[in-house]
Structure 1
């Protein structure tokens, strides 16, 4: 083994169970086709709109107008001024500010084992988030092509499953996980909801890595007692300040810690790391990519409200649904609750989060029946973010006509909607590979 030091409100048990069950459900990948289901009329006592005719007119903030109302006419003004303005607003009003990572350390406990019939090299790393290495840690699992001629591009997944359940490989360390009762147990007690097809990526010269989100912060309201946010609480406080990090920001922070390792691995091209996550973890990779520009690409699946879907549309899930005390308020900064009754009063919206990825490649993947996550709202956000990509010399969608299911747009800013519901289907990974190869390999 070797150690590397890089440079750098309470929920009742029903809420805990509900949140964890939802997380596990997403892992099934074949999410339900909502055309064949009854759509609920209310969630948390809040009505839901699925009727485009009932979407009230709204005006989106212009990502290319400074807060002093002066236009952004060149790339220098974007990078020096406007990008920082937008990033700061998302920090304070949506996801919350996170601390630095000065005390993390990394231990590579598997330096390279040939697997997949000699096609891949497997590595395993423990990331210690604080100077106390007995707690606050996560394992990162990495696979790289064995016949490397140069550092490989890689897709980094933040997963709902512990590493040993995310792939079909008996050599992966069996860590721990959070069960439906909100208890930490051996991952051997968990259920496998399909396995990631590592070989598909390896055979295309692309590495794969995965990290379990529950190792960073448990996904329930009281998870702060056990996760990394609890460690950073100010003395005498029990919850972060209204502009400080929610769980999504914590998971994103953990991804940046993973990137700290990937930058040290000579077999990984650190400029060609693509982030991938589904649902709330789709929101997570969007925020991680926006706040940490070392990530060269993001593939966000069904990120919906709080991710790539326009909040002002008031279609499907809304801010008010998300921040309800019985649901996912803990995933966001406390300030997010200010906009539940009036999303139009918020100084940012999803198109500005999408724009923060520019000029790096971003693919928004969704499903045509995932009305709860508003697939059209994600398309609208991408269209509205296109001027930023264009300003920086990159290609947006180059269309304002919503593509039919099965019609990928794989420009620097991409969009793909499968025929089906929430999550990523096996066939979607062929699209992901095409996107990665187009922007990372064939250039």
Structure 2
């Protein structure tokens, strides 16, 4: 038999079996046995007994490991060069809110990058607490408001939204109003600030655009193995928004809650871990690399996420693809890095890809760190019933439905923020 024919026949017959072990697992009985690393025991085995020891010894080493081996290090500083209010109105949402669109610009050498923060603030609140989050398809998608500027940044195509040739269009205005519960947020006395994530770093495996090249040295074309992927770049953008909020008289910068869904939920968790100025953190269906435990290998795995989205994490994270047992950390310790500030982890019943049980267990196993501060976390190891939230400093719910953000989610987030942030 011809050698090439033999090879082709081999792959045709045996490739399905070769890759069967990497098919997503949705069977709890097939979750491998694993031992989670203790958040209250250092890498050298020393027990952490109080908040002071946590902050001095354990928290720094955990933060350093996640930085160097999962999300990547930001290789320098880049401060805001200029701030411009490009549009504003005191009569938005039928007079219930003010609207402001603020452009932040960053310059270095011959490069320039700008992104726009769209803000709605309740008209009757002098300094408003704010939910801050990224959106997937442009600020103009979050509300039916003709005054919202349409970004010219690259976008993933979505023909159902009228987005083709990677260009945002008028046709996509208001297509994601269902995810933001804007009237309810404003009515509860909170502001909402949103940013199109593609303006900071386009969501594609290309490190030649966005903010990454601002820090390249000589002929560098890619971040170093321990340097930032896109999640860290988006996190950087959230922190620069916080820099701006601290100078905006309309915002209570001490009460900014960072929110994210899916890959942007991974981003909100990392933002909360790295920037202690955020008063609270919300992870909505964040899954692998977010709230879900990696060692469970349920739904999306480290291998799959690194294969499908190689630009999200630092290159060093690929050392743990199909090798989760070698990870000396897991995502419950990421959540613990947010302590003692409140954190909310949410799942959806049909979103098995994101591993709801793994997300819940992360919140549960992070709770002993919150206990060091006298804060109440998740005290029972059994998941709560569907649509039955646990509202403590560490909060959790699983709701009916799919991978999405719903009015039910926002209702819980607002109640929780009223109690623990506002």
Using structure 1 for the length normalisation, give the TM-score: 0.85
- Answering whether residue 191 of structure 2 is matched by residue 207 of structure 1, we say yes
Q: 1:230 Cα shift?
A: 2.4
Give yes or no for the alignment of 1:369 onto 2:363. no
Residue matched to 1:188: 170
Greater relative contact order (Cα 8 A, min sep 6): structure 1 or 2?
Answer: 1
Deviates more, 1:411-420 or 1:105-114: 105-114
Q: Any conservation in 1 of the 2:145–2:174 contact (CA below 8 Å)?
A: no
* 1:220 lines up with 2:204 in the alignment: yes
Picking from 303, 319, 327, the partner of 1:320 is: 303
Show the counterpart of 1:262: 245
The answer to whether the 8 Å contact 1:63/1:355 transfers is yes
Structure 1 counterpart of 2:120: 143
The answer to whether residue 24 in structure 2 is matched with residue 48 in structure 1 is yes
- Alignment check: 8 A CA contact 1:280 1:303 kept: yes
Distance, in Å, in 2 between the alignment partners of 1:44 and 1:125 is 49
Matches within 5 A, 1:5-404: 46-105=22-81, 106-110=83-87, 112-131=89-108, 135-148=112-125, 150-180=126-156, 185-188=167-170, 190=172, 192-195=174-177, 196-222=180-206, 224-324=207-307, 327-404=308-385
Number of residue pairs matched by the alignment: 398
1:393-418 Cα deviation digits (max 9, x unpaired)? 11101211111110101100000111
Q: Which residue of 2 aligns with 1:430?
A: 411
Q: Which residue of 2 aligns with 1:29?
A: none
- Structure 2 unmatched runs, 5+: 1-16, 158-163
- Equivalent position SS for 1:364: strand
Give distance in 2, aligned partners of 1:44 and 1:246.
29
Query: Secondary structure, in 3 states, of the residue corresponding to 1:130?
Result: strand
Select between 376-385 and 228-237 the one with higher mean Cα deviation.
228-237
CA distance 1:199–1:319, change in 2 (3 Å): same
**Cα shift at 1:203:** 1.1
State the 1:67 CA deviation: 2.2
Deviation at 1:80, TM superposition (A): 1.7
CA-atom RMSD, angstroms? 2.2
Structure 1 residues 66 and 261, CA, compared in 2 at 3 Å: closer, same or farther? same
Alignment check: 8 A CA contact 1:406 1:417 kept: yes
Partner of 1:32: none
Assess if the C-alpha contact under 8 Å between 2:139 and 2:196 holds in 1.
Answer: yes
* Mapped partners of 1:217, 1:44: distance in 2: 34
5+ residue gaps, structure 1, are: 1-40
User: Any conservation in 1 of the 2:113–2:210 contact (CA below 8 Å)?
Assistant: yes
Deviation at 1:130, TM superposition (A): 2.6
